[in-house]
């Protein structure tokens, strides 16, 4: 009784487990007759499965076979354990045809799934091969690119080294060229100076100028009366001192002047010393005749104005003893004109007298060159027979005492002999030439300049 009660209780628990697995609508019979039928059906299904043309065996078939084998070997004592196995929980149809159709469908499903799995494996294998091929290709391309990049980097580094080397060479070449350029510039500058010196020497050699005679005191004295060039330079500085407008700057600018100021003064002194014509001076100095005339007129005016500022004194007994003389009153100042020489001129036809016309086709006349002495003891020089011919006189030619500035006191000269003064002034041969009548003003100005130069250059004319 206890065994029957235990068996019933076990079948009841198996029934509850099957009901819990398949649901409330499925119930698995647990009677012995039913178990025998089920075993018989499973055996037949196994035979059918073995006799079927499909040879594939699913997991459920194997489970059924194992279950049948366990039930046959265990008998009824193991039926309760087989009922508790997972495979015993499947709902198996009772008919053989239904069971066969289920098995066939299961096999077809397994076959499709196998084919699908095989196709997926093939696709996966193809994808894997393609991925591997792509990886190999990418690795090869990457290697190729790395190789090319390495070669390019090496090439660029080589080019960079070459460029640096070329740059260093170019920098050294530039430095060498700069040094050569500096040396060439210095050489060119030196050569240009030499060339200018040669051109100047050639110009001075070809043209008569101060530079050709200033180194030789003999020829400098012959052409100018100055025994040394420094004395000539000091005289030129005296003429240019305080002169706002130089003679060479008018009427044409200095930049267009044909001669330098010292050569212009040299030209004037050469004409005074030798009495040359303007045509001769223009030929000697390689300038035009009009330019030579302009230099002559401009500088003689400057010389007269500047030299009259030099105080020349004389003693009264020398004035009284000199003959011929005449009295002139100028601006209420009694002046004594001492006629030192006669300046000759050639008269025009309509100004000749009848007696002169009978002596020859050309007639000459003379005007006196004089020294004009004042009661103050100072004198100046001029030319002309009329009082109105007197040029503007220095301020120290007055009746009363004279106060000289320090500069005038330093430049003061003393005249001892008027005859000697006249002889020294006539050493400038321009005064010995017979000039046309229209040059009376120029000749009178030349007489004044020559007298002052005689005072400056000769003893006992006041040269200290």
Task: Give per-residue pLDDT as tens, 442-461.
Answer: 999 999 999 999 988 876 54
CA dist., res. 408 & res. 309, Å (int): 8
Residue 91 is predicted with a pLDDT of 64
Angle, helices 96-206 vs 59-74, to 10°: value is 140
Terminal Cα distance for the chain, rounded:
187
Count of residues making up the chain: 464
CA dist., res. 303 & res. 325, Å (int): 26
Residue 13 is predicted with a pLDDT of 47
Residue 359 in tokens = 């002596």
Whole-prediction pTM: 0.54
Residue 222 is predicted with a pLDDT of 93
Residues of the chain with pLDDT under 70: 1-35, 46-93, 197-206, 242-257, 349-362, 385-391, 459-464
Instruction: Please report, for the chain, the start and end positions of each structural domain, with discontinuous segments joined by +.
Output: 2-92, 217-307, 312-457
Cβ atoms 21, 89 nearer than 8 A: yes
Residue 302 is predicted with a pLDDT of 93
Q: pLDDT tens digits for 39-87?
A: 777 777 766 655 554 444 444 454 444 444 444 444 444 444 444 444 5
Residue 295 is predicted with a pLDDT of 95
């Amino acid at each position: 009784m206890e065994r029957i009660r235990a068996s019933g209780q076990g079948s009841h628990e198996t029934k509850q487990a099957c009901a819990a697995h398949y649901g409330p609508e499925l119930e698995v019979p647990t009677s012995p007759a039913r178990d025998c039928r089920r075993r018989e059906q499973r055996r037949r299904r196994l035979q059918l499965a073995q006799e079927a043309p499909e040879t594939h065996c699913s997991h459920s078939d194997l489970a059924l076979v194992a279950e049948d084998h366990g039930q046959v070997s265990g008998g009824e004592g193991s039926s309760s354990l087989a009922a508790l196995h997972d495979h015993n929980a499947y709902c198996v149809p009772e008919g053989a045809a239904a069971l066969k159709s289920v098995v066939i469908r299961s096999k077809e499903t397994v076959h499709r799934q196998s084919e699908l799995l095989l196709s997926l494996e093939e696709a996966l294998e193809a994808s894997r091969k393609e991925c591997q091929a792509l990886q190999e290709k990418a690795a090869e391309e990457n290697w190729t690119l790395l190789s090319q990049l390495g070669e390019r980097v090496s090439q660029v580094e080589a080019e960079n080294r070459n460029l640096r080397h070329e740059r260093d060479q170019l920098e050294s070449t530039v430095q060498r060229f700069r040094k050569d350029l500096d040396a060439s510039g210095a050489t060119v500058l030196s050569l240009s100076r030499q060339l200018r010196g040669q051109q100047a020497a050639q110009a001075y050699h070809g043209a008569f100028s101060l530079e050709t005679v200033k180194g030789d005191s003999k020829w400098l004295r012959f052409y100018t009366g100055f025994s040394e060039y420094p004395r000539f330079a000091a005289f030129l500085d005296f003429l240019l001192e305080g002169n706002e407008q130089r003679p060479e700057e008018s009427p044409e600018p200095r930049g267009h002047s044909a001669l330098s100021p010292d050569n212009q003064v040299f030209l004037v002194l050469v004409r005074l010393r030798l009495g040359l014509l303007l045509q001769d001076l223009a030929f000697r100095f390689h300038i035009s005749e009009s330019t030579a005339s302009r230099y002559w007129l401009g500088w003689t005016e400057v010389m007269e104005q500047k030299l009259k500022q030099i105080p020349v004194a004389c003693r009264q007994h020398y004035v009284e003893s000199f003959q011929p003389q005449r009295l002139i009153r100028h601006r209420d100042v009694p002046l004594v004109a001492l006629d030192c020489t006669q300046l000759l001129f050639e008269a025009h036809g309509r100004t000749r007298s009848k007696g002169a016309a009978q002596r020859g086709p050309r007639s000459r006349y003379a005007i006196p060159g004089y020294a004009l002495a004042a009661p103050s003891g100072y004198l100046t020089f001029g030319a002309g027979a009329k009082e109105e011919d007197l040029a503007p006189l220095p301020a120290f030619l007055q009746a009363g005492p004279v106060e000289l500035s320090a500069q005038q006191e330093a430049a003061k000269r003393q005249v001892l002999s008027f005859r000697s003064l006249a002889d020294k002034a006539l050493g400038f041969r321009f005064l010995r030439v017979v000039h046309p009548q229209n040059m009376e003003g120029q000749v009178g100005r030349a007489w004044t300049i020559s007298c002052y130069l005689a005072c400056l250059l000769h003893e006992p004319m006041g040269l200290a």
